[in-house]
Amino acid sequence: MKSRLLLVLALCAANGALAANYRALPGGTFRSVLPADGKEAPAVLAPFLMRSELVSNAEFRGFVASHPEWRRGRVPTILAGPGYLAAWRTPDDPGALDPHAPVTQVSWHAAAAFCASEGARLPRWHEWEYAAAADPGRADARDDPEWLSAILNWYARPANGVPGQIGRGRANFHGLHDMHGLVWEWVEDYSALFVNADSRAQGTAKQLDYCGGAAVSLGDRRNYAVLMRVALLAAMEGAQDAPFLGFRCARDQK
C-alpha cells in the first residue's frame, strides 16, 4: 500500500506542470519599493505567469517522493540547513500537517528545485511585488490606506502559528490567492535585494548594514509590509528556512 501511494505521489509530481494553475500577468511599468536604478526609476516587467496558489504540503510531498535527493536527511547542508522540513513526521511524510496548507521550512534551493520540476522558476522580486500590489478589484491598491493597514495588521502578528489552508480567501485582481496573510515567500533574486556595493557582505553584517543604512534610500515608505519582506529576504541565506516561509512559482510568458 505504501509503495502504491508513493507511486501516485511521484506521478502527481511529474505532472505538476499540468496540475498547477498559472495566471498570466501583463507586466509593464511599476513603481517599486526598490527602484530599478536604486534611486527613483520604475521597474519594467515583461509579461509573466505566476502560480495562482502557494505550493502545498501535499505537492511538496509528491516532489520529494519523485526526487528523493530532496528528502530531509539527504540534502547537503550547503543546500538545506537543519530546520529543513523539520515539522514533517518523517523525511517523506508531513504527518499531521494539513496537506492543503502551504509547505514551509524549505530552503531557497529546495523551492527553486521544486519550481524547476514543473518547468518554472521562483518569481523575481519585482514580479512578486507587482502581483502582491493588487486587491480583488484593483491591479494596484497601494494608495488605499485601509488596504495597506489591513495587510500590515497580519504582518504584526507573531509568526509562530501553523499556516491555514491555501485559497480560502478571495483571489486578487490577477487571480492569485494568499499574496498576503498566510506566509512569507521566497523570490528568485532574494540575495540581490540587499543594497550594498560590497557583494562580499554576509550574515549578520549583511543584515545590520541593510537595516542601518540602505533602507533610507528605498522608495514608497508607506508600504511598510512589503519593506518588511525586503528586510527578511535580504537577511536570508539560500540554505536557510523558516516555519512561516513558503513559496510559489512563476514562468516567463512565451
Query: Where residue 19 sits, what CATH number does that domain have?
Result: 3.90.1580.10
- State residue 180's pLDDT score: 92
**Count of domains forming the chain:** 1
Tell which residue, 187, 185, 189, 193, has the closest CA to residue 211: 193
- State residue 156's pLDDT score: 74
- State residue 119's pLDDT score: 96
pLDDT band at 231 (very low <50, low <70, confident <90, very high): confident
pLDDT band at 221 (very low <50, low <70, confident <90, very high): low
- State residue 6's pLDDT score: 41
What DSSP state is assigned to residue 98?
A: -
- State residue 173's pLDDT score: 98
Domain residue limits at 125:
2-252
pLDDT band at 162 (very low <50, low <70, confident <90, very high): confident
State yes or no: pLDDT of 243 exceeds 50.
yes
- Over residues 116-136, the mean pLDDT reads 97
pTM of the entire structure? 0.84
List 51's β-bridge partners, or say none: 22
Alpha-helical runs (H) found in the chain: 2-14, 16-19, 57-66, 108-117, 125-132, 145-155, 203-212, 224-235
